[in-house]
Structure 1
Amino acid sequence: MAVQSGIYRGVSAADRAAERRARLLAAALTVWADPGVRTTMTAVCAEAGLTERYFYESFTGLEALLEAVMDTIAAEIETTSRTAAEAAGDDPVARVRASVRAFMELLVADPRKGRVAIVESVAVPKLRQRRTDLLRHLAHQSARESRKLLGSPGRSASEDEIGGLLFIGGMAELITAWLDGTLEATTDEIVEAASRALLGIYG
């Protein structure tokens, strides 16, 4: 029974809303990544086991939900890669390899994340700019981290940014080919190739 404080069965109204939002995000990831299912609000709500009333509690529309999914994945990639690099110690090469490997292991553990953020988002016109913004953000972070790890012998900040865009843009194309089956490669092969590329750009 609800009480004035909003507590129901020991859970606050805010916590219940947060749990429903998390269910919608998880459902959107599942539906969006499935090429056999059309990504609609109805499909997402059915997957989440929620009505449209609860959808609008958290999101203004389908595109807002899909953008939130992309933002969540981008934040996870950034945090996971940085944490792995920090755990690898002081050797710059080891840190680069650990960062790239953490990114790849995230995609291996859940390929849906790479598919929706890198591949499927291109097919949604209003999300293309958000995809571009996120890739440019990751490129900027790559440039900053590389300068911090490897130094900047004779390079300008502009050259670092160019390098970041080259690396992240190349990785996006590489992951797209890997996910759609055009490229047959092991995780180790991609990690080594990507690490060499990044070290070559900033070495």
Structure 2
Amino acid sequence: MAVQQGIYRGVSAADRVAQRRTRLLAAALTVWADPRTRTTMTAVCAEAGLSERYFYESFTGLEAVLEAVMDAIAAEIEETSRAAAEAAGEDPAVRVRASVRAFMDLLLDDPRKGRVAIVESVAIPKLRQRRTELLRHLAHESAVESRKLLGSPGRSTNEDEIGGMLFVGGMAELVTAWLDGTLEASTDEIVEAASRALLGIYR
């Protein structure tokens, strides 16, 4: 019986492309987060066990795969934090702490994610711009969620956006100091301080 066109060992061509893309993203995260390794397309391909031909199947160049890594981390932060808040019940303070805790747990589970998205991305001009865009997106989402959760007595939408930028920008600096070792603080201390800051901005 003839093999169905585009199917190899039970896996379609599209699925094989997706699998290779996932491998490249995982490899890019590993290489980029390792200070001992120079982040190059060759290093990413070697880590993934794939040739450059397969790299160009999914990405136009090194900056494209690194940007995709950043986008994936930002999406994971947003989804994880929101899910934790929703699971925490109705109390605003409990929801805020659950959201911040989920973010910190994500970084503890895989410190590479915070390092590349918040620290290493600053060194590359194009990715620095993308970092700014992602932080502003997260700031906007923080403003929207805070307004929904805490209400907006006497505050304008613009004031909420300013508050979101203050919170997310401050968190980025806090996490940078924590990751590079200049700030000695426990996860509990960071969660508590960040939660108080967010609640204070919007109350």
Q: How does 1:3-152 map to 2 (within 5 A)?
A: 3-152=3-152
Share of identical aligned residues, percent? 86
Question: Which residue does the alignment assign to 1:161?
Answer: 161
Q: CA deviation at 1:125?
A: 1.1
**SS of the counterpart of 2:7?**
coil
TM-score by length of 2: 0.98
Question: What is the aligned residue count?
Answer: 202
Question: Which residue does the alignment assign to 2:198?
Answer: 198
Question: Could you tell me how far apart the structure 1 residues matched to 2:173 and 2:21 are?
Answer: 31
Amino acid at match of 2:42: T
Question: Could you tell me how far apart the structure 1 residues matched to 2:162 and 2:35 are?
Answer: 34
TM-score by length of 1: 0.98
Backbone CA RMSD of aligned residues: 0.9
Question: Could you tell me how far apart the structure 2 residues matched to 1:175 and 1:151 are?
Answer: 28
Amino acid at match of 1:187: T
Q: Unaligned stretches of 5+ in structure 2?
A: none
**SS of the counterpart of 2:177?**
helix
**SS of the counterpart of 1:5?**
coil
Q: CA deviation at 1:3?
A: 3.6
Amino acid at match of 1:100: V
Question: Could you tell me how far apart the structure 1 residues matched to 2:126 and 2:26 are?
Answer: 21
Question: Could you tell me how far apart the structure 1 residues matched to 2:116 and 2:22 are?
Answer: 17
Question: Could you tell me how far apart the structure 1 residues matched to 2:62 and 2:78 are?
Answer: 25
Deviations 1:44-94 (A, max 9, x none): 000000000000000011001000000000000000000000000111111
Question: Could you tell me how far apart the structure 2 residues matched to 1:3 and 1:120 are?
Answer: 46
Q: CA deviation at 1:143?
A: 0.3
Question: Could you tell me how far apart the structure 2 residues matched to 1:50 and 1:89 are?
Answer: 45
Question: Could you tell me how far apart the structure 1 residues matched to 2:79 and 2:115 are?
Answer: 19
Structure 1's consecutive aligned runs of 4 or more residues displaced over 6 angstroms after TM superposition are: none
